[in-house]
Amino acid sequence: MFKSIDSWMNLLKAGFDYQLLLSDIWTGTFAELHQELRYSQIKVESLEDWRQFIQIWSRVFDREFAYKLRLEDAILLQGKFLNTVVNYLPHQPQLSKEIVQILELLTKINLINIFNYLYKDKIQVGVTPKTEVYQEDKLVLYRFTPLQPSSLNIPMLIVYGLVNRPDIVDLQSGRSLVAHLLNLGIDVYLIDWGYPSEGDRWLTLDKYINGYLNNCVDVIRDRHNLDEINLLGICQGGTFSLCYTSLYPEKVKNLITMVTPVDFHIHEGLLNVWSGSSLGSQALDVDLMVDTLGNIPGNFLNFVFIMLKPFQLGIQKYIDLLDILECEDKLLNFLRMEKWIFDNPDQAGEAFRQFMKDFYQGNKLIKGQVKIGNKQVDLGNIHIPILNIYAEQDHLVLPASSLALEKYIASVDYTVRSFPVGHIGMYVSSKVQKDLPSAIMNWLKVRT
């Protein structure tokens, strides 16, 4: 009982300190907003409407938030708060359960979920027909139904990350990277990692890369009687693909990385410093999290991503929703994105532990110190052609993190392509959807 009370008191104190930090950010925001309006000679009354003012305020708030939460004292304070939360949970399981039930009830009674219920038949994601060709544990390997005869003799395997669902590459008709690639004559496969359960907490990066990913590559090689296939690795899946290509260079013909983190110590990235790129376990005690929670809840990770731009992602977009309520197409687009954003699988504890400690905190990928099982990952072992695609306005994977790749690989055939969008814009922007698939196809054509 004493330990429970003590952990509760520590949580209250850490929470109070964290709230003071957030209050300081709000105060600083108002000051910055006043200065910006003053120096740009913009008066509130001269703005077209209150939404324009919200947009300016949103930009200023998230800029101030990112600046303050990147400072060492703030990182330590946030790390302490997260640690006390993790320490508190085991002491109050029943209370935690009741709180979660209340929160879940509250989240169900909101406008978004009402819309989701009314339009549930119209907001399905993952729309392109596909066939299951391989299954292992919770993983499923899909082959998308070709829309026309293949114009390339080498199939492509899309490797997405573990954090969100891969449906984003096939979100809806007209905004599907997969469909566009199929229309160009590319034979496309996709790994669906599934939803880890409590029994999967011991899954390691060795299992994901040397096991699941390698088995999927072999299945495709056998189906097409090929020695090599093409890989398209996206975000964390791109990092996995780099590791895989280093370990199995004889199985990969061409590698495409998209919005892929390589240098995890780009301290301008708020996600990097929160994850411990500068202060290690003082910012995020990964061992404490995994040892206490087992699998890392997907909802927790989603909350972290939203907090990178709390005003824009947590408030402004719902205000902007008011402008599209009468346009069903735009509303359905919004709901599909919401469905994908909040569909976060839990993270297998041991895989999460190694990825956070070795990549984010240790930056071992570019140091040649990552070990997957008993195999050493050396980016200098990659000699094949690489197309590296990044988003110029990416706040999750900063351009500098992706562009670092060139310094560590041995490939002489290295191409960079960028698009003036953010991280999510790489999947859903109409301009990107128009240009990206053809850029991939044209690059592959001369390398088959």
Residue numbers annotated as active site: 235
Amino acid present at 25: I
Closest CA to 418 of 437, 396, 439, 390: 390
Q: Report the SS3 class of residue 238.
A: helix
* Residue 379 DSSP class: G
How does strand 130-136 pair with strand 139-144?
Answer: antiparallel
Q: CA-CA distance, 14 to 281, in Å (whole number)?
A: 17
Q: How far apart are CA 56 and CA 62, in angstroms?
A: 10
Compute how many other C-beta atoms are within 10 angstroms of the C-beta atom of residue 192.
18
**Crossing angle of helices 286-293 and 72-88, rounded to 10°:** 20
Q: How far apart (Å, rounded) are the C-alpha atoms in residues 175 and 433?
A: 7
SS3 241: helix
Amino acid at position 68, single letter? K
By C-alpha distance, which of 6, 17, 4, 14 is closest to 285? 14
Give the span between the Cα atoms of 314 and 423, in whole angstroms. 17
How many other C-beta atoms are found inside a 10 Å radius of the C-beta of residue 230? 27
CA distances (Å), 129 to each of 83, 143, 233, 371, 447, in order? Answer: 44, 9, 21, 37, 28
Which own/partner pairs from 10-15 qualify as long-range (CB within 8 Å, at least 24 positions apart)? Answer: 10/84, 10/87, 10/88, 11/84, 11/85, 11/87, 11/88, 13/84, 14/77, 14/80, 14/81, 14/83, 14/84, 14/85, 15/81, 15/84
Return d(Cα 9, Cα 6) in angstroms, integer: 5
Q: Contact 365/264 with Cβ under 8 angstroms?
A: yes
Q: Residue 82 CA to chain centroid, in angstroms? A: 20
Which of 76, 264, 300, 236 lies closest to 292, judged by CA? 300
